[in-house]
Chains A and B, each alone.
Chain A
Amino acid sequence: GQNIDQPTEMTATEGAIVQINCTYQTSGFNGLFWYQQHAGEAPTFLSYNVLDGLEEKGRFSSFLSRSKGYSYLLLKELQMKDSASYLCAVRDSNYQLIWGAGTKLIIKP
């Protein structure tokens, strides 16, 4: 079966750096997405990786290793507004998105 694994919850301090990991086992691979979802709101797109390596976008970076079935989202200079759930999703061979359950990130002052 297809599976996306992410930690359920993480806690970090304002101003620090946090890395959220995602491992996947899917039928085929056509890209990996990270989304941010604040409580009670819709998911919003953060990043997309299809080739191995690091994609940097401001304070957020996303890394992919296809051979290891592994990705991480790196958040730098954490702000209180970064408190949210972070969802990892992989597009499979049928071009459908398979979603992880999300990682709830709690930022403490």
Chain B
Amino acid sequence: IAGITQAPTSQILAAGRRMTLRCTQDMRHNAMYWYRQDLGLGLRLIHYSNTAGTTGKGEVPDGYSVSRANTDDFPLTLASAVPSQTSVYFCASTSGGATDTQYFGPGTRLTVL
């Protein structure tokens, strides 16, 4: 693989169910991020990780948890999904260097009914 992959591509989930969105990168980037994108709103940061073994809360962390056991993987878990978590979820990682540009995975479209 090259870049960032996310799984699943899309998912329909019953409210109250537990769900883990997967994100894997092979670029050896230290920092990784989870965003949600909703119509009419900008990308909103859920959680981030500056390096393996550390995580932090973003703007909208409630109802979500993350872990960063190694450099490559950064899964996002919804412990008990609610309809307001219906969104498109993007994972991103940063390149470091002067610009520290964020690169995005293809996204997961999640619908909670």
Contacts and interface: CB of A to CB of B under 8 A. Distances in A.
B12 interface: no
A89 B43 CA distance: 9
A99 B58 contact: no
Contacts of A102: 42
Interface in B7-47: 40-45
Contacts of B105: 42
Interface string B74-113: 0000000000000000100000000111111111000000
Interface in A60-107: 87, 89, 91, 95-102
Given A48-B99, A101-B40, A96 B104 contact: no
Given A41-B106, A42-B107, A97 B45 contact: yes
Q: How large is the interface on A (under 10, 10 to 19, 20 to 34, 35 or more residues)?
A: 20 to 34
Contacts of A96: 45, 48, 58
Given A87-B42, A96-B45, A99-B42, A45 B106 contact: no
B42 A45 contact: no
A13 interface: no
A42 B90 contact: yes
A96 B45 CA distance: 9
Contacts of A27: none
B104 A42 contact: yes
A4 B106 CA distance: 24
Given A96-B58, A99-B43, A42 B99 contact: no
Given A4-B42, A89-B42, 20 more contacts: A33-B101, A33-B102, A41-B107, A42-B105, A42-B106, A44-B104, A45-B101, A45-B102, A48-B99, A87-B42, A87-B43, A91-B100, A95-B100, A96-B45, A96-B58, A97-B43, A97-B45, A97-B102, A100-B42, A101-B40
Interface of B: 40-45, 48, 58, 90, 99-107
